[in-house]
Amino acid sequence: RNIEGYNDYIKEHNSQSEAKQPELPYIVVIVDELADLMMVASSDVEDAIMRLAQMARAAGIHLIIATQRPSVDVITGVIKANIPSRIAFAVSSQTDSRTILDGGGAEKLLGRGDMLFIPIGASKPVRVQGAFLSDDEVERVVEYVIGQQKAQYQEDMIPQDVPDTKQEVEDELYDEAVQLVVEMQTASVSMLQRRFRVGYTRAARLIDAMEMNGVVGPYEGSKPREVLINDVQEKSS
């Protein structure tokens, strides 16, 4: 039913059998700044947090999420509904306090570890004082964690050096988009949207592909991108 029962079974099995089986470890997932993730892919992050919060506890996976920007677009209703235990440190307004705790109070905290903690099943928060950790204590904890197991990186998530070669683009509109950009000597997502009647995402991918293949320059804020070639023939040369 849960990781505790499984590990108890494994201990009993190991005591009676020569073939030893490993116990399942507890896993703690820590998100240091949720706001940054929500800006990049809010729906994907929200779905992942919801699934972990709903099902991971029985498998010994626990979730710690932190943010310095407690707004409703970061701490959404879905996330709050699936994380019943919450801690609020000193915030600037009652609105921020309500976003975290569903009630005021955190705006009156004194800082320096002063916090309000509302555990699962509690009707109101408890005021708690966080302990001060020196740099030496933090370093000892980090060394202990590192000593337990070496880091195992997901290789396909590690960015690779992109070779300086032109890449084939699968979008059938790419060649037409390049021809348009070269003829107009200007490039923007909105221009491709209007001309080809496509959505923002597809138009943005076309622009990114052109940048990767050296057709247009990098993004420069509100300015249109610089077109780096004067003739479509230069693209293939």
Output the pLDDT for position 140: 92
Output the pLDDT for position 151: 74
Question: Residue-wise pLDDT tens for the chain (237 aa)?
Answer: 788 899 999 999 898 888 888 988 888 899 989 998 898 888 889 999 998 888 887 788 889 999 998 999 899 988 988 898 999 999 999 999 999 999 999 999 998 999 999 998 888 999 999 999 999 999 998 888 888 777 777 777 666 665 555 556 778 899 999 999 999 888 888 889 888 988 888 888 999 899 888 899 888 776 778 898 887 665 555
Two tokens, residue 22? 């490993």
Output the pLDDT for position 128: 95
Output the pLDDT for position 160: 66
**Among 145, 112, 160, which residue's Cα sits nearest to residue 30?**
145
Specify the length of the chain in residues.
Answer: 237
Output the pLDDT for position 117: 96
Question: How deeply is 73 buried, as exposed, middle or buried, from its count of CB atoms within 10 A (0-12, 13-18, 19+)?
Answer: exposed
Dihedral over Cα of 195, 196, 202, 206: its sign? negative
- The span from the CA of 109 to the CA of 190, in Å, is 47
The single residue listed with the structure tokens 């959404």 is: 76
Question: What are the structural domains, with CATH classification, of the chain?
Answer: 3-131 (3.40.50.300), 174-236 (1.10.10.10)
For 205, list phi and psi in degrees, rounded to 5.
-65, -40
Output the pLDDT for position 220: 77
Output the pLDDT for position 235: 58
Q: Which residues pair with 126 in a beta bridge?
A: 117
